[in-house]
Every structure is written in structure tokens, then in C-alpha cells.
Amino acid sequence: MDDCIFCKIINGEIPSITVYEDKQVKAFLDISQGTPGHTLLVPKKHVPDIFAYNQQLAETVFARLPKLARAIKKSNPAIKGMNIVNNNGEIAYQSVFHSHIHLIPRYSENDDFQ
């Protein structure tokens, strides 16, 4: 997709800080960190939202979550938990229409994430 920010991140036209990458997915730091380590997991194939996934893509992308979540948690002993969030549609606060899953580390009851 020509005009998609996340496709541009995937093909290297826009810089990002990579957390994990393989043939099918990329994970990179969110430009606006809800809490430190806030990461986005995206399929390399452009799909706008969950409604456009086929079963195979869903298994590919969602199966990466436990390992990625563990790796992020292991990277900082201060991380006590994690919110995993996937917004679909403007009404659900999706702002970038290349499907992505937020992994938001949680540090304490008083960390910044609402």
C-alpha cells in the first residue's frame, strides 16, 4: 500500500526501532510510548484490520504474542505486567489502518498508561 505508514516502516522508508522481525511480522517501538517499551506487532502483509484476516494470517500474527511478550518482559525486570490491545475501526480508536497489536508494559499502578 503506497500511502501506509506501517508498510513504509516495514520496507525501511520510514525509520523505526525494531524489537523483532521475521519473514511474516515485524515488531517495533510505538513512536508515542504509552509506557516505556510500548511495542507494535504488525503483519508484513498489508491488512487494514482484524476483519480482513484469514485464518492463516491470524495464526501467524497472534501466535507470535506470547514469545514477544515474554521477551519484552525479560528485557526489563521492572515490568510487572502487560496490556495487549488491538483496535479495529475508527469507532474503536484505530488511527493507523494497517493492522497492529499494541504490547504495553505495565510497571506500577501509577504508570502513565490509562
User: H helices of the chain, where?
Assistant: 5-10, 55-62, 65-74
Among Zn ion, ligand 5GP, none, the one that 88 touches (CB under a kind-dependent 5 to 8 A) is none
**Looking at this protein, which amino acid is placed at residue 25?**
V
Q: Does 1 bind Zn ion (CB under 5 A)?
A: yes
* x/- track of binding to ligand 5GP for residues 21-60 (CB under 6 A): -------xxxxx----------------------------
Asked about 100 being catalytic, the answer comes back as yes
Residues 6+ apart with CB under 8 A from 11: none
Place of cell 499494541: 102
- Tell me which residues touch ligand 5GP (CB under 6 A): 5, 14, 16, 28-32, 87, 93-96
